[in-house]
Chains A and B, each alone.
Chain A
Amino acid sequence: MKPDLSVKIKDITFRNPVTVASGTFGSEGEYQGWVDYEKLGAIVTKTVTRKPREGNPMPRIYETPAGMLNAIGLQNKGIEEFIEKKIPFFSKIRTPLIVNIAGESVEDYVCLAEKLSHLKEVSGVELNISCPNVKKGLEFCAQPGLAYEVVSEVRSVTPKLLITKVSPEAHDFLGVVEACVKAGTDAFTAINTIRGMAIDVEARRPRLANVFGGLSGPAIRPVALRYVYEIKRRFDVPVIAAGGICCTNDALEFIIAGAHMVAVGTANFVEPRATMEILSGIEKYLGERRLESIDEVRGTVKVDC
């Protein structure tokens, strides 16, 4: 018998725990031909904002040891065009769709969440309060009070699954997490990228036009794992883990630490089939150990202290 990989968060049953990290999977089927969208646990879109954003100037990316820096700057066509042109693609796919949103004010987040709350194609909203690459991108994640305000306001306008994506750059990380829980978030995505920098020593200029960029990839995986574990140790709230997940072993580490789902991010850029390989790897892990369900693995890390 095949093991049961399904995961329930709020009132949504995801067919398995494998999803993608926002911004690494495009927003209109870029991975078709590589990934069977029907086999993913969930699809998370690239960030959508209220107005179109051109994004940051070039260069926007730079490879670093075991990862990369990016400062894309939330390039997107805005919510109106997203709903008109991108949503129809997802209406044909039965996999739950989570739309990642970002704003510069509480009002922006509320407006975006409200617009999405009317769409049957959208299962959940992920609040990006942790983008390091735009002005005010980290503001709402910086203090528990601001995090509380944005999450509670969004909560009041949408009954949909509400996920808050948090950054380790918050000075009081667990304080921010606690505030979001109190404000009514249903789950967390942890973690967003961590700000980094690289310099071209010939030109003596930053490698990125934005100077700073978000570091992603295996380089941040141990940090991500620690934060996921810390959230789970303190709070009974589902976590979608993100941070350098490249293979089955990586994914299992996060699930054993307590994550409900695992979001493959930068690895999609290297191995477009990474999600599918991880999915079959998790299935194999369970099968070989005669485990009936992923629930028997989640949060089972044995810690002596």
Chain B
Amino acid sequence: MRKIKPVDEWVTIRENIRLTPRLLKVSFDFPKLAKIARPGQFLQMAIEDARDPFLRRPFTVYRVKRNTIEILYEVVGKGSRLLSEKKKGERLKIMGPLGNTFTMSLKKRIHVAVGGGVGIAPFIFLGQRMPVHYFLMGARSKEGLLPNAEFRGLTGKKIFATEDGSCGMKGFVTAALEKVIREVGDAGKLYLFVCGPKKMLEAVMEMAERFGIEGEASMDERMACGIGACLGCMVKTRDGYKTSCKDGTVFNFKDLLVD
């Protein structure tokens, strides 16, 4: 399916900054990758040359600006902590682009991106490449929400929801989705792009089924190889286990089997 040959090179960090107490952004110049990456695709990052941590870390492409690639991340473990300590001028090894892409050829649909926390990341890049009419973002509190400035240049309407009510609607991102459904009236016109924690994905997909909304989800499983060899990152589909890294990470709702 993918005919583009991925690349693997050392790059130099341009900027590594904290956007909120939870969300960070690292950027680097990688012209070859910037040219061929498509929304939904990810890259595999070696954070330390010494192979400690041993495996690479997968990150979705957050934004492409000419030759520069931006990655949105949060600190969840050793790899992301080491990444957060990296300074401008330090190096990372980046392999990509990997995985499939979001469907880009939808016509006459209202595109709704639903992101849970850092799961909003692929939709900024998606919004750069096609109209995204709504960005729905959920988080526990406002520290987990992407600052407004990060949506610069994107025209879609933003609706935020936080569990503690510290910003936007109080509750889950599904409350924001309900609001959109009411606003649009005809749920069948909507097309969802979803990425986030498993519980959120399940809640959104359950709602999509109830309202007859089509869409696709980016499935984030623990990965080792990133190229479909190790069979570690499997996703349950109607057609059996599929690799999240190579067959995905994007799967149509219709194909996913939710536990």
Inter-subunit contact B231/A55 (CB<8 Å): yes
Out of A23, A55, A58, which one reaches B221, CB within 8 Å? A58
Inter-subunit contact A30/B227 (CB<8 Å): yes
Inter-subunit contact B234/A55 (CB<8 Å): yes
Q: Which residues of B contact A33 (CB under 8 A)?
A: 5-6
Inter-subunit contact A54/B240 (CB<8 Å): yes
Pick the interface stretch among B17-25, B28-36, B49-57.
Answer: B49-57
Which residues B150-206 have CB closer than 8 A to chain A? none
Q: Which residues of B contact A55 (CB under 8 A)?
A: 231, 234, 241
Out of B5, B227, B232, B240, which one reaches A61, CB within 8 Å? B232
B2 to nearest A CB, angstroms?
Answer: 10
Contact with A along B1-29 (1 / 0, CB 8 A): 00001101000000000000000000000
Closest to A77 in B: B240
A108 to nearest B CB, angstroms?
Answer: 21
Q: Chain B binding site: helix, strand, loop or mixed by DSSP?
A: loop
Q: Which residues of B contact A67 (CB under 8 A)?
A: 54
Inter-subunit contact A272/B227 (CB<8 Å): yes
Given A54-B240, A55-B241, is A30 in contact with B229 using a C-beta cutoff of 8 Å? yes
Q: Which residues of B contact A65 (CB under 8 A)?
A: 52, 54
A25 to B8 CA separation, bound complex (whole angstroms): 18
Q: Which residues of A contact B208 (CB under 8 A)?
A: none
Out of A24, A30, A63, which one reaches B53, CB within 8 Å? A63
Inter-subunit contact B224/A68 (CB<8 Å): yes
Contact with B along A147-178 (1 / 0, CB 8 A): 00000000000000000000000000000000
Residues of chain B at interface, number, CB under 8 A: 29
Q: Which residues of A contact B225 (CB under 8 A)?
A: 24, 30, 268-269, 272
* B138: interface (CB < 8 Å): no
B224 to nearest A CB, angstroms?
Answer: 4
Which residues B49-72 have CB closer than 8 A to chain A? 51-56
A91 to B232 CA separation, bound complex (whole angstroms): 28
* A145: interface (CB < 8 Å): no
Q: Which residues of A contact B95 (CB under 8 A)?
A: 272
* From B54, B55, B226, B234, residue with most partner A Cβ within 10 Å: B54
* From A30, A59, A270, residue with most partner B Cβ within 10 Å: A270
B247 to nearest A CB, angstroms?
Answer: 12
Q: Which residues of A contact B234 (CB under 8 A)?
A: 55, 58, 60, 75
* B230: interface (CB < 8 Å): yes
* B222: interface (CB < 8 Å): yes
* A218: interface (CB < 8 Å): yes
A140 to B105 CA separation, bound complex (whole angstroms): 54
Out of A25, A61, A75, which one reaches B241, CB within 8 Å? A75
Q: Which residues of B contact A75 (CB under 8 A)?
A: 231, 234, 241
A30 to B246 CA separation, bound complex (whole angstroms): 10
Contact with B along A64-92 (1 / 0, CB 8 A): 01111010100100000000000000000
Q: Known pairs A30-B227, A60-B231, A75-B231. 7 more at Cβ < 8 A?
A: A30-B228, A30-B246, A59-B222, A60-B232, A65-B54, A269-B56, A269-B225
- Residues of B near any A CB (own CB < 8 A): 5-6, 8, 46, 51-56, 95, 221-234, 236, 240-241, 246
28 A–B contacts from the bound complex (CB under 8 Å) = A24-B229, A24-B230, A30-B225, A30-B246, A33-B5, A34-B8, A54-B240, A58-B221, A60-B234, A61-B223, A61-B224, A63-B55, A63-B222, A66-B52, A68-B54, A68-B224, A70-B224, A70-B232, A72-B232, A266-B54, A268-B225, A269-B55, A270-B46, A270-B54, A270-B55, A272-B95, A272-B225, A273-B8
